[in-house]
């Protein structure tokens, strides 16, 4: 199993009260598997991704990636995790505004001080793969929203992460780009053997996954296995209605 999450608990303090967000949540993701998390706002989807990526620290529980328990209490370990094992895609793209498209995609290699032909080839390959090779020298503000998101996906894939975390990657793009993004995430997971954990509100995009987990009140309330029926969204809708999401 690529990712094993066990009894993950996270709560936030709001003044004098404590608001539980994740309640002893457990989840597995296999290599090459694409898992989608759906749930209402405030159900803990983003918090779950943050805890797995190590940009937030859970109160309890464990995260095991590639059979290695992530030391969530260590800042250095979490930084290492993000540097080498995990890639992230956000709803709001989050590109570095001062770097060109090429440099944004190459950023993970700059951080790990990797250079050379192999790195350049990898970046070029990703630019072609996501279809922004013609924009390689442009700055983010010169791109459309879709191009920004494609660049951000290329950056997340650059260092060949074992796990790709995507937080509503199609939330701010048009349907055509949304489909392209889903295709890229799907094929990447299959080709590179990486797991994908994606949060979305869209049943159409959730239909691309191998499994859909429905998160409610900090726990996985239901799960639906899929078998490549990208056009079949009725069952997802039905499940959402049943759960009152």
Partner 1 sequence: MNLFLAQFLARRSLRHHRTVSLATVLGVAIGMTVVGAILIVDHNSVETRIEGAASADLQNLPSAGLHPGAARILRVSFERANRTAQPSTTESTFPTQKGLARSGFAVGTPLAPRGEEDYQAMRLAVRLASVMAFAVGAVIVFYTMRFSVASRSRELSLLLCLGEDRRNVALSLLVEAAILGLVGTLAGLLIAFPAAAALIDAGISTTGRVPARTFALPTFELAGMSLLSLCVCLLGAAGPVRALYAMRIVEVLQPRFLAPDIGERSLRVGGFGWLVPPVIAAGYLALRPFLKGWLSVVHFFLLETGFAAVLAVVALWWMPSLMRGVIRLAESVLRPLLPLETLLVGRRLRLTSHKLVFTVAGVTLVFSLLVALHDVTRALKQEIAVWSREALAPYVFLQRSPGYGADADALRNAVESRGLYLFRMSQKVTGELPFRLVAAADVNPYLEARERPRLDPGRVLVSRTLAARFALSAGDRLVIHTDAQEHRFIISEVTDDLGFFADDGQYVDLKSYFVFSDRNPLFAGPLEQTLGDYAAARKRGGGRLTPGDVAALGPTYAPAKEGQAVSRWQRQEIDRDFLIFDFILIMTVLLAAIGVANGVLIQVLAREREFSVLRTVGVSRAQTTRLLLVEGAIIGIVSGLLALALGHTLGAISVSFLDRFTLFEYRLAFSPLAGALVCLLAVATCCLAALYPAVVANRISSAESLHYE
Closer residue to partner 1 (CB): 104 or 239: 104
Tokens coding 122: 């990898």
Least distance (Å) between residue 100 CB and partner 1: 9
Residue with token string 């003044």: 15
Q: Would you give the end-to-end CA distance of the chain in angstroms?
A: 29
Query: Does residue number 42 form part of the binding site for partner 1 (CB under 8 A)?
Result: no
Residue with token string 């999450």: 5
Least distance (Å) between residue 214 CB and partner 1: 20
Least distance (Å) between residue 238 CB and partner 1: 29
Least distance (Å) between residue 228 CB and partner 1: 30
Query: Does residue number 145 form part of the binding site for partner 1 (CB under 8 A)?
Result: yes
What CA–CA distance (Å, rounded) separates 50 from 56? 5
Least distance (Å) between residue 216 CB and partner 1: 19
Query: Does residue number 123 form part of the binding site for partner 1 (CB under 8 A)?
Result: no
Closer residue to partner 1 (CB): 48 or 212: 48
Closer residue to partner 1 (CB): 95 or 236: 95
The site for partner 1, by CB under 8 A, has a size of 40
Burial 119-157 (b: 16+ CB within 10 A, else e): beebbeebbebbebbebbeebbeebeebbbbbbbbbbbb
- Judged by CB under 8 A, the residue of 56, 62, 124, 204 near partner 1 is 56
User: Which of 40, 90, 49, 91 lies closest to 201 in space, CA to CA?
Assistant: 40
Interface map 75-114 toward partner 1 (x if CB under 8 A)? xx--xx-xxx---x-xxxxxxxxxx---x---xx-xxxx-
142-146 long-range Cβ contacts below 8 angstroms, 24+ apart: 143/101, 145/93, 145/172, 145/173, 145/177, 146/173, 146/174, 146/176, 146/177, 146/180
Length of the chain (residues): 245
Query: Does residue number 119 form part of the binding site for partner 1 (CB under 8 A)?
Result: no
Query: Does residue number 140 form part of the binding site for partner 1 (CB under 8 A)?
Result: yes
Closer residue to partner 1 (CB): 24 or 83: 83
Closer residue to partner 1 (CB): 151 or 209: 151
Q: DSSP code of 135? A: G
Residue with token string 């709803």: 91
What CA–CA distance (Å, rounded) separates 45 from 171? 14
- List residues near partner 1 by CB under 8 A: 46-47, 50, 53, 55-56, 75-76, 79-80, 82-84, 88, 90-99, 103, 107-108, 110-113, 139-142, 145, 148, 155, 167, 172
């Amino acid at each position: 199993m690529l990712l094993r999450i066990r009894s993950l608990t996270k709560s936030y303090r709001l003044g004098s009260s404590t608001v539980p967000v994740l309640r002893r949540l457990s989840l597995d993701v296999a290599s090459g598997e694409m898992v989608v998390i759906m749930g209402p706002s405030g159900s803990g989807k983003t918090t779950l991704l943050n805890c797995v990526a190590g940009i937030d620290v859970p109160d309890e529980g464990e995260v095991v990636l590639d059979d290695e328990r992530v030391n969530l209490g260590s800042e250095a370990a979490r930084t290492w995790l993000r540097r080498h094992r995990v890639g992230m895609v956000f709803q709001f793209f989050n590109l570095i505004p001062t770097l060109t498209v090429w440099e944004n995609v190459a950023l993970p290699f700059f951080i790990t001080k990797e250079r050379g032909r192999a790195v350049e080839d990898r970046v070029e390959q990703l630019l072609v793969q996501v279809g922004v090779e013609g924009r390689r020298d442009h700055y983010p503000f010169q791109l459309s929203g879709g191009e920004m998101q494609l660049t951000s996906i290329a950056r997340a894939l650059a260092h060949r992460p074992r796990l790709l975390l995507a937080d509503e990657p199609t939330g701010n793009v048009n349907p055509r780009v949304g489909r392209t993004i889903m295709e890229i995430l799907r094929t990447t997971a299959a080709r590179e053997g990486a797991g994908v954990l994606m949060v979305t509100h869209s049943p159409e995009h959730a239909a691309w996954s191998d499994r859909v987990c429905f998160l409610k009140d900090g726990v996985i309330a239901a799960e639906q296995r899929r078998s490549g029926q990208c056009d079949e969204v009725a069952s997802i809708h039905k499940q959402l209605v049943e759960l009152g999401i």
